[in-house]
Structure 1
Amino acid sequence: MDQTVRCYLDDLVGAARDVLGVELVGAYAAGSVGLDAYQPGRSDVDVALVVVDRLDVVRRRELVARLRHEALPCPARGLELVVYTRAVAGSGTPEPGFEVELNTGARMPFRATLHPADRPAADGRFWYGLDRSILHQNGYALLGPPATEVFADLRPDDLHRLLVEALRWWLALPGPAAPEPSGDGPEPAGDPPVPGAEDAVLGACRSLVRLRDGVWLSKVAAGQRVAAAGAYPELIARCVAARAGGTAPGGAEARDFQGWVLRRVLDAG
């Protein structure tokens, strides 16, 4: 683990313990840190805290105040933190179920949500169940028992539904004018690069690998596995290179690939 991130996570857990005391029973690094794929300058720091029981609003607000970037500077693009009760973490529910959601960082829009109902539906409600599934397999324990003992995985039907929701959400994001994805076409002519399209492509790879192979991989590792099976190798290679500073793929090309993945995920249901 990056040493700067390691020190930051230690400070974060210490600050959370100051606020929550014995209510805090676990802290887990997720995302790129949990998947051993952290890229300085690009990756976020994803953390899940687990508490004994529901938190009152005062405690939730105090936690946000102590952990936001202005109080505890995040060395990454930003911090994405979610707090769950022990019951929710171990339930396998597909629902958001969080106590606090905090996004904060020098290069990340600030968000502090204290109730799941307050999160805009347009921002997606699939993230949390999928993140807890990743934590079940790959969470890195900063405090408390191993993540696999704390976070339950999703049921297969819930996993499938959330993966479909995620793929459709990514496809619905605004972008340059492009034809509806056919899922079987070559790179569209005159398709300009779209920053961030590489993450949409590699994220779709990760969904496909989880459904087919039962494992959560980093975006890059998932892309390499899909390419090794013969699907869109040139596009995926360019997406991997784009994460290291190369040129992003075009928006229509990325949408075509996402459509190809969505069709296969739907067929698997």
Structure 2
Amino acid sequence: MSWSTPEPLRRYLTDLVAVAGEVLGAELGGAYVAGSVGLAAYQPGRSDVDVALICAGPLDHGVAGELVARLRHEALPCPARGLELVVYQQKVARSGTPEPGFEVELNTGARMDFRVSYGPAQRPSADGLFWYGLDRSILHQSGRALLGPPAADAFADLAPDDLRRLVLDALRWWLARSVPAGEVPAPGAEDAVLGACRSWVRLRTGMWLPKVAAGRRLLDEAGPLVDADTTELVERSIAARDGGPPPTGAAARAFQRRVLADLAGTPA
């Protein structure tokens, strides 16, 4: 790991790869960190750790279960809010498919609900099946290799039409399930706003950016989408990530709708 990471996280990722190697052996073809770490925007105390493992072929259920048992927080304590781990077969990672296609998904951490799924069939569609294709797109652009070839070689990006569809699906999902539309500051509203900014920036500029950088990029480049209220909303959302008051739920949801309408080409 040659990039800048806090020492506890560096040790954790080293240990995670070692455990994965012990469990998977020669089947382990790569280990990659994405999300805020890959995008150089990790915030201790706030960020999750997103890790993708690549295996040569389908995982035996017993092996998958052992991997989960040894990587869950109770066995290997995560220094971040939590670990979001996904295991893909090599052929899926390199396919550019928009389908979920994972072998194992594990969420675990001191401040994260434990969850494990052994394949997409165990993932409720209401929880969103767009995450995986988008995550692999981010890995292709900004993933950091802990083991194996560069992430740009290990993960194929999505085709433009598939990327656009999944980004719009994600925006609709967040709009349906995000912060309540009240007129009071709503914790989490800042991430709803900045997540919408990141979606806008990816489709309009071709780049995945961290949420804060995406918010600033939108203010610089979104033209008619940006007015005084939008500027105040985005700036407040950025400040909220460092402890300031979040925006109201009503303002966040109105902004999400405007971004979705802009990207979908429909009236707001």
TM-score by length of 1: 0.93
Aligned ranges 1:187-266 → 2 under 5 Å: 191-229=183-221, 231=226, 232-266=230-264
Helix, strand or coil for the counterpart of 1:195? coil
Residue in 2 that maps onto 1:183: none
Helix, strand or coil for the counterpart of 1:254? helix
Which whole-Å deviations, capped at 9, do the CAs of 1:179-231 have from their partners, x for residues lacking one? xxxxxxxxxxxx10110111111011111000010010001100111112352
Amino acid at match of 1:7: R
Helix, strand or coil for the counterpart of 1:84? strand
Residue in 2 that maps onto 1:132: 136
Amino acid at match of 2:252: A
Aligned ranges 1:81-120 → 2 under 5 Å: 81-120=85-124
Aligned match for 2:80, one of 69, 76, 83: 76
Which whole-Å deviations, capped at 9, do the CAs of 1:57-92 have from their partners, x for residues lacking one? 001100000000000000000000000000000000
Q: Measure the CA separation in 2 of the matches of 1:129 and 1:267.
A: 22
Report the Cα offset of residue 265 of structure 1.
1.1
Aligned match for 2:173, one of 160, 165, 169: 169
Helix, strand or coil for the counterpart of 1:25? strand
Q: Measure the CA separation in 1 of the matches of 2:217 and 2:168.
A: 20
Residue in 2 that maps onto 1:7: 11
Report the Cα offset of residue 174 of structure 1.
5.6
Structure 2 residue ranges without an equivalent (≥5): none
Percent identity between the two aligned chains:
67
TM-score by length of 2: 0.94
Aligned ranges 1:152-163 → 2 under 5 Å: 152-163=156-167
Q: Measure the CA separation in 2 of the matches of 1:253 and 1:100.
A: 37
Q: Measure the CA separation in 1 of the matches of 2:155 and 2:111.
A: 29
Q: Measure the CA separation in 2 of the matches of 1:18 and 1:103.
A: 20
Q: Measure the CA separation in 2 of the matches of 1:65 and 1:54.
A: 18
Report the Cα offset of residue 175 of structure 1.
4.1
Report the Cα offset of residue 234 of structure 1.
1.1
Q: Measure the CA separation in 1 of the matches of 2:254 and 2:98.
A: 28
What value does the CA root-mean-square deviation take over the aligned residues? 1.1
Helix, strand or coil for the counterpart of 1:99? strand
Residue in 1 that maps onto 2:64: 60
Residue in 2 that maps onto 1:184: none
Say whether residues 1:267 and 2:254 are aligned partners. Answer: no
Helix, strand or coil for the counterpart of 1:111? strand
* Structure 2 contact 44–80 (Cα < 8 Å) conserved: yes
Q: Measure the CA separation in 1 of the matches of 2:71 and 2:147.
A: 17
Amino acid at match of 1:240: I
Amino acid at match of 2:136: R
* Structure 2 contact 179–253 (Cα < 8 Å) conserved: no
Amino acid at match of 1:61: G
Q: How many residues align?
A: 256
Aligned ranges 1:134-153 → 2 under 5 Å: 134-153=138-157
